[in-house]
Amino acid sequence: MKYSDKIRNIAIIAHIDHGKTTLLDSLLRQSKLFRDNQDIPERVMDSFDQEKERGITIFAKHTTIPYEDYKINVIDTPGHADFSGEVERILGMVGSVLLLVDAQDGPMPQTRFVLSKSLALGLKPIVVINKIDRPSADPDRVLNETFDLFTELGATDEQLDFRYIYASGLSGFAKKTLEDPSTDMTPLFDLILEATPAPGGEVEEPFLMQAATVSYDDFLGRQVTGRIVRGVVKKGQTLIHINGDGKATNFTVSKLQGYLGLKKVDIDEALSGDIVIISGLPEEATIGDTITDPRKPEALPAIKIGEPTLSVDISVNSSPFVGKSGKHVTMNKIKDRLLREKKANISLRIEMKDEVDKVTVAGRGELHLSVLIESMRREGFEFSVSKPRVIIKEEDGVKCEPVERVYIETPEEYSGKIIEEISLRKGEMQHLSTSEHGITKLEFLVPTRGLMGLRGDFLTMTRGLGILTAILEGYTPWKGNIAGRTKGVMISGCPGKTNGFACFNLQDRGVLFVKPGDEVYEGMIVGENSRDNDLIVNVTKAKQLTNVRASGADENIILIPPRQLSLEQAINYIEDDELVEITPAQIRLRKTFLTENERKRKEREVKN
């Protein structure tokens, strides 16, 4: 038996929150990788801080589970559409995918997206009907809906004859039929071994591998992870790196690592079919590059990744509070950090333009960009971010913009408001249906511009009971102007510290973003005006004190709590003449030009 016959490479794909990481937790726990008394956190694969806080997977991660005398390499993938680039690039490494479908919700929009990608690559998915122990689960209906989805996506006869299993990742059991006892994950382990083809590849042939994941180590330099297509690799071996332009560079393998459970382990050699980490590559090595043997150099086809749809400008923080909480404030530091991100994150596009004071960063969506911005903020960077812009294409001389297919589930009484709001944002309804339980399902085609800021309004409109998912559909001719923010802002007219007296007098004018005791500067946005014009206010004005005693006590001041904007909300809230000031301690909104004179001068220049 060949070595690769004992290897199975598989990825877990699903819609967001259908239980990928929880199911993998159960597989890891039952694989005897951990001691009985070892403390294992929930969602153990979500090791990145933001993944734990947001409750979602952001980066694809590798693990290896030993089962009997087999080695199962498992890749946990994100379920959110903004991180679909992570899914696209790792599917070429695996022999099959576990497609998780919620036993209550059934196939969801992102299920369709990840399934279409895997079917296009010729993979034969294993369907896992997860969460079958939920009170309202209906596994039979969900299985039929999943089969219908396979048919709709043009699956081949062989792909339509998919294997399936029922499971509960949280309770830690899987079973082939609903009547079987609920014991452990053994049926799922056995099904993976049966239904996933061995990776193949001849050990005697010269070495060949494609980089699917890229990382950087301060001591080891550039590292790439990928599946060995054929041959053997050893520590200290000389190989050739071929980039996307066909340029070949010799290098020596300084370190070779594999996975065991959650850990990286040093190994001396690896054979075809295995997933390994190779260190010592040239600095410019990136995802999709080929690593091959000098005896038979061969370049593999590049990995195709969907293009970004939104971009923001990142510039130095020019506010009076610059450097108060951040360590890295210069443009050189910001550029170095973004260049490091560009090497590891293939779905981001980072452009250093002629302007010395800003960098344009393009990504898949607001969440994709905000994860990068939040990471930099936590690393001690200070900078300013512009309003997101959609990336325009020209097709046959026609100006085109990205359009997204939006799926909405909401209680019936809120559907009218939603239809009205999305119509104002140039959305076109494609489908509407209401179930006997009073849940309305809506489907729209909406320009990406129209989706900016919609999620916050959507949660307000549906009292938090609605679900909204958007997936890029393609490009459509420019839809014309879309109304932006309908209200103006309150701008601080002077620097200082806010106080309760000024806040109390201003709260009738709109909604404040600051509380008493906050430091403000001229040009900083301190609230939302109740009207459509911008208003310059003095939020630092204190009550006039006299030495004359009043006959009655001062009136009791009752302040409305200020509106706290999250990073995504702040980026969506601003207009073209405004910026979000990002610091490790605070997120502030400001006008691009801080003084009233500068703003008026700019207005006159635009008119002329």
Annotated binding site for GTP: 17-22, 130-133
Residues 6+ apart with CB under 8 A from 84: 78, 113, 114, 117, 306, 347, 364
Distance CA 482, CA 479 (A): 8
Alpha helix positions (H), 64-168: 84-90, 109-120, 139-152, 157-160
What angle (nearest 5°) sits at the alpha carbon of residue 16, between those of residues 102 and 377? 160
Judged on CB neighbours under 10 Å (0-12, 13-18, 19+), 231 is buried
Which run of H or of E encompasses 244? none
Which run of H or of E encompasses 223? strand 221-230
- Angle at which helices 366-378 and 331-344 cross, to 10°: 130
Distance CA 366, CA 474 (A): 17
Across 58-207, the runs of DSSP E, i.e. the strands, are: 61-67, 70-76, 96-102, 126-130, 163-168, 173-175
Count of helix runs (H) and strand runs (E) in the chain: 15, 36
- Phi and psi at residue 92, to the nearest 5°: -70, -15
Task: With H, G, I as helix, E, B as strand and everything else as coil, classify residue 290.
Answer: strand
| Amino acid present at 244 | G
Distance CA 406, CA 467 (A): 10
CB-CB contact of 101 with 137 (8 Å): no
The binding site consists of 17-22, 130-133
Six token digits for residue 505: 């007098």
Which run of H or of E encompasses 276? strand 275-281
| Amino acid present at 526 | V
CB-CB contact of 458 with 420 (8 Å): no
| Burial track 316-339 (b if 16+ CB lie within 10 A, e otherwise) | bbebebbeeebebbebebbeebbe
Distance CA 132, CA 105 (A): 11
Distance CA 534, CA 92 (A): 52
Residues 6+ apart with CB under 8 A from 32: none
Six token digits for residue 249: 């560079």
Six token digits for residue 300: 């593999």
